Amino acid sequence: MFKWLEKNLPKIVMAPAVGLIGWFVYGFVLWTLYISFTNSKILPKYELWGVGQYVKLWGSRKWLIAVDNLLIFTALFLIFCVVIGIILAIFLDQKIRAEGILRTIYLYPMALSFIVTGTAWKWILNPTLGIQKMFRDWGFENFTFDWLVDREMAIYTIVIAGVWQSAGFVMALFLAGLRSVEDEIVKAAKIDGASLFTVYWKILLPMMRPVFFTSFVILVHISIKSYDLIVALTQGGPGISTTMPALYMTQTAFHKSQVGLSAASAMMMFMAVAAVIIPYLYSELRRENAR
Amino acid sequence: MQDSLKSSSYQQLEQKSKYTNMFLRWFLYFILILFASYFIFPLYVMVVTSLKTMEEIRQGTLLSWPSGLNLDSWAVAWGGRGYGAGDTFLRPYFWNSIKMVVPAVFFSTFIGAMTGYVLTKWRFKGDQWVFLFLLFGCFIPFQAILLPMARTLGVLGISNSVVGLVLVHTVYGIPFTTLFFRNYYVSVPTELVKAARIDGAGFFKIFFKILLPISAPIIVVTVIWQFTQIWNDFLFGSTFSFGEAAPIQVALNNMVLSSTSVKEYNVDMASAIIAGIPTLIVYVLAGKYFIRGLTSGAVKG
């Protein structure tokens, strides 16, 4: 008995973690998947109902708006974060004075919660006392910046706050990537007469392909899950103009009590994340095995 | 002859490139400082707004300097106005968050250290699959587990309580803590463990005598990561708790959204700073470890 215990101790120590994840991650996802095929309203029902919830979901105007917003947000969030991140990383890489302080400033928003970020930007962007008033007081009397209360433009305020929060992070990833390149490569290229611009554009940035890939995966992941920022900044408004899938899911589940429908929307999010993550995990594993 | 010609034109070229270089340097600093001001701007606005009276806020602009060091809105944000109903302030929720963060960080870090230890130093058949099994937990969108979690907490009788949130954060922290410790222990030479085993040291003795003493950096990284994630969480907090058991981010959001009488932006900003200060302090004090966690556990977002 004691022998057996000793021999299997490592597995016994692993068991709680495996059990917890098995139950709370895999079991729960399967439960949600099952419920998405039932006609559950306030309480879950367990008779199968088919794909009715998915049909209902893709016929819902609010969900379509949410998906539309997600696409707009993801595209802009990606582009701005990556472009700003790369520019800052390359510039910081030029033996800059006070690099440490600048880096700290670029990255500190990552330490704040999206609720804090949203609260701050909501105040800055509010038309009555925020930026709009600031410019008007400075003499630009026709200056208008009321995106926060404009149905068409409100989604872009979420982009502004989101980029503010995450661009520094992309900078950190690229800076680490650039610093890991051998100095010899850059020196050799310079001796061959390549300008600094060419060195970065033709040699270093193409070498950063894995960093691009990582940033892409992380940023898409953040944007699919984005919830807190919208709650704090717009609550999905004005109207439903800034709804996103994560917000749709919780509202449908906990305010509208449409458990089956919200499970279907959660599974759509799950599939979207899986479509990005599985190729990523696959390539990471291959890289690790190749080492 | 030809050589000297070449060198003089080369000098000219060098002179020219010196000027372009100087111009480039200035441009470089200009852009870097421009972005720094974009990043610092909201923090500056938050701080000065929190120090103004509402009258000052209406008179001045976002950037204008406060007339004095007026801490009234900080007092209101932290301790309320002193009347009964509808007076929400952050103090009790700040403590809720502390009570939630400390055990959740401890348990998830401990479990992660153990699993990371087993997965690297007590390898068994199929351990890579077990790692992958756990790792996948880093990526799931939490919306896919929200509904069953709410029911489970209800069945266990710990919905709307700090205990429930500790459980939730511990469980969903395990994939990350495991990832951190596993990747760290992989680089510790296995010979050390083997030698100790031959000397008759057991499972726990090896962990506490050999692995733990060299684990300080990764423990710091993990604790900071978990602390930041759990402190900043809103989704779980707002779904599984309300009223008195809410953590600080939920309370902050409720305070800002509550539409009683006039909006007090100075109190809102003071509250936001209070909710953000613990993680900011950690970031400033241990930025190196914060970034390390970020770049290796970044998948969460």
For residue B240, give the chain A residue with the closest CA. A254
Distance from CA of B283 to the nearest CA of A (A): 6
Per-residue confidence band for B248, with pLDDT thresholds at 50, 70 and 90 = very high
Name the DSSP letter for residue B187: T
A-B Cβ pairs (cutoff 8 Å, strict): 255
Among candidates B228, B253, B291 on the partner chain, residue whose Cβ is nearest the Cβ of A232: B253
Q: Determine the residue among A21, A96, A145 to mutate to test chain B binding: the one whose Cβ has the most chain B Cβ atoms within 10 Å.
A: A21
Count Cβ atoms within 10 A of the Cβ of residue B286 and give its class: 0-12 exposed, 13-18 middle, 19 or more buried. middle
Across the interface, whether the CB atoms of A10 and B122 are under 8 A apart is answered yes
Question: Does residue B300 carry a pLDDT above 70?
Answer: no
Q: Which amino acid is present at B10?
A: Y
- Domain A51-290 annotated CATH 1.10.3720.10: yes
Per-residue confidence band for B299, with pLDDT thresholds at 50, 70 and 90 = very low
Q: Which residue among B70, B99, B121 closes a domain?
A: B70
Across the interface, whether the CB atoms of B280 and A217 are under 8 A apart is answered no
Range of the domain at B104: 91-296
What CATH number is attached to the domain comprising B118? 1.10.3720.10
Among candidates A10, A138, A246 on the partner chain, residue whose Cβ is nearest the Cβ of B203: A10
- What pLDDT does residue B45 have? 92
Distance from CA of A286 to the nearest CA of B (A): 13
Distance from CA of A254 to the nearest CA of B (A): 8
Across the interface, whether the CB atoms of B283 and A228 are under 8 A apart is answered no
How far apart (Å, rounded) are the C-alpha atoms in residues B233 and B236?
Answer: 7
φ, ψ at A162 (rounded to 5°): -65, -45
Q: Which single residue is written with the structure tokens 């807190």? A: A228
Across the interface, whether the CB atoms of A172 and B272 are under 8 A apart is answered no
Q: Half-sphere exposure of B294 toward its Cβ, with a 13 Å CA cutoff?
A: 23
Whether B109 and B211 map to the same domain: the answer is yes
Beta bridge partners of A48: A38
CA distances from B83 to B76, B77, B95, B254, B259 (A): 11, 13, 21, 18, 17
Lowest mean pLDDT among A281-285, B94-98, B216-220, B254-258: A281-285
- What pLDDT does residue A6 have? 78
- What pLDDT does residue A291 have? 57
How far apart (Å, rounded) are the C-alpha atoms in residues A246 and A252?
Answer: 10
Across the interface, whether the CB atoms of A115 and B234 are under 8 A apart is answered yes
Q: Between residues B13 and A159, which one has the greater pLDDT? A: A159
Whether B132 and B19 map to the same domain: the answer is no
Distance from CA of B25 to the nearest CA of A (A): 9
Distance from CA of A214 to the nearest CA of B (A): 9
Q: Which amino acid is present at A56?
A: K
Distance from CA of A278 to the nearest CA of B (A): 9
Whether B41 and B98 map to the same domain: the answer is no
Among candidates B139, B233, B252 on the partner chain, residue whose Cβ is nearest the Cβ of A273: B139
- What pLDDT does residue B228 have? 93
Per-residue pLDDT tens, chain A, 291 aa: give them: 777 887 888 888 899 999 999 999 999 999 999 999 998 888 878 888 888 889 989 999 999 999 999 999 999 999 999 999 999 999 998 888 888 899 999 999 999 999 999 999 999 998 888 888 888 888 887 888 888 888 888 999 999 999 999 999 999 999 988 888 877 888 888 888 888 788 888 888 888 888 888 889 889 989 998 999 999 999 887 888 899 999 999 999 888 888 999 999 999 999 999 998 888 888 877 776 665
Per-residue confidence band for B118, with pLDDT thresholds at 50, 70 and 90 = very high
Domain count, chain B: 2
pLDDT digits (tens, 9 = 90+) for B261-277: 567 888 899 999 999 99
Q: Between residues B17 and B232, which one has the greater pLDDT? A: B232
Among candidates A28, A113, A228 on the partner chain, residue whose Cβ is nearest the Cβ of B148: A28
Whether B175 and B223 map to the same domain: the answer is yes
Across the interface, whether the CB atoms of A123 and B268 are under 8 A apart is answered yes
For residue A289, give the chain B residue with the closest CA. B128
Q: Determine the residue among B147, B193, B241 to mutate to test chain A binding: the one whose Cβ has the most chain A Cβ atoms within 10 Å.
A: B147
Q: Which helix (H) or strand (E) holds B219?
A: helix B216-232
Across the interface, whether the CB atoms of B178 and A17 are under 8 A apart is answered yes
Among candidates A105, A110, A124 on the partner chain, residue whose Cβ is nearest the Cβ of B45: A124
In a domain, B241, yes or no: yes
Count Cβ atoms within 10 A of the Cβ of residue B295 and give its class: 0-12 exposed, 13-18 middle, 19 or more buried. middle
How far apart (Å, rounded) are the C-alpha atoms in residues B109 and B178?
Answer: 8
Distance from CA of A64 to the nearest CA of B (A): 18
Q: Is the peptide bond before A238 cis (omega within 30 degrees of 0)?
A: yes
Q: Over range B275-287, report the average pLDDT.
A: 91
- Residue B249: list chain A partners with CB under 8 A: 113, 115-116, 228
- What pLDDT does residue A140 have? 82
> What ranges do the domains of chain A cover?
51-290
Name the DSSP letter for residue A199: I
Among candidates B46, B111, B137 on the partner chain, residue whose Cβ is nearest the Cβ of A120: B46
Among candidates A115, A222, A249 on the partner chain, residue whose Cβ is nearest the Cβ of B143: A249
For residue B144, give the chain A residue with the closest CA. A266
Interface confidence, given as ipTM, is 0.89
